[in-house]
Amino acid sequence: MTIRVMTSDPTGTAAWAQLSELAGSVGGSTIRSLCSVDRDWLRISAASIFMDASRQRVNSDVVKSLMALASECGVEVLRDQMFSGVHINSTEDRAVLHTALRAPLSAGVHDGDVDVSQSVSEVLHRMAQFSGAVRQGEILGASGLKFSHVINIGIGGSDLGPAMAYQALAPFCDPDIQMQFVSNVDPADIHQALIGLDPASTLFIVASKTFTTAETMTNAGVARDWLVSELGEGAVGSHFVALSTNASAVAEFGVTEDFTFGFWDWVGGRYSMDSAIGLSTMIAIGPAAFFEMLEGFRAMDVHFQSAPAEVNLPIVMGLLAVWNRNFLGIETTAVLPYSHVLARFPAYLQQLTMESNGKSVRRDGSGVTYATGAIVWGEPGTNGQHSFYQLLHQGTSTVAVDEIIIATSEYPDQIQQDMLVANALAQASVLSMGRTLDEVVEAGTPVPLALHKVMPGNRPTTVLMAQRLDPFTLGSLIALYEHSVFVQGAIWGINSFDQWGVELGKIVALGILDEIETGRSADETLDAPTRASIKQYLKLK
Ligand code: F6P
| Residue predicted with more confidence, 50 or 28 | 50
How many DSSP H helices and E strands does the chain contain?
Answer: 22, 13
pLDDT of residue 153: 98
As a whole number, the mean pLDDT across the chain is 96
Nearest ligand 1 atom, CA 270:
8
Residue 269 to residues 207, 263, 478, Cα–Cα distance (Å): 10, 10, 14
183 lines ligand 1 (CB under 6 A): no
Give the model confidence (pLDDT) of 388-398 as tens digits: 999 999 999 99
Q: What are phi and psi of 85, to 5 degrees?
A: 90, 10
Q: What are phi and psi of 403, to 5 degrees?
A: -100, 140
The CATH class of the 98-289 domain is alpha beta
CA of 194 to the centre of ligand 1 (A): 23
272 lines ligand 1 (CB under 6 A): no
Least Cα distance to 476 among 490, 464, 461 occurs for 464
CB count in 10 Å sphere of residue 447: 10
Q: Are 496 and 357 in contact (CB under 8 A)?
A: yes
Give the model confidence (pLDDT) of 413-434 as tens digits: 889 999 999 999 999 999 999 9
pLDDT at 4 over 50: no
CA of 260 to the centre of ligand 1 (A): 18
pLDDT of residue 28: 81
Q: What percent of the chain has pLDDT over 70?
A: 99
Q: What are phi and psi of 288, to 5 degrees?
A: -65, -45
Q: What are the beta bridge partners of residue 74?
A: none
Domain borders along the chain are 98-289, 501-540
pLDDT of residue 320: 98
Give catalytic residue positions.
355, 386, 506
Reply yes or no: is the peptide bond before residue 382 cis, omega within 30 of 0: yes
pLDDT of residue 33: 96
End-to-end CA distance of the chain: 54
Q: Are 455 and 430 in contact (CB under 8 A)?
A: yes
Least Cα distance to 179 among 211, 222, 147 occurs for 147
CA of 207 to the centre of ligand 1 (A): 10
Nearest ligand 1 atom, CA 155:
11
Least Cα distance to 363 among 90, 179, 170, 148 occurs for 90
SS3 233: helix
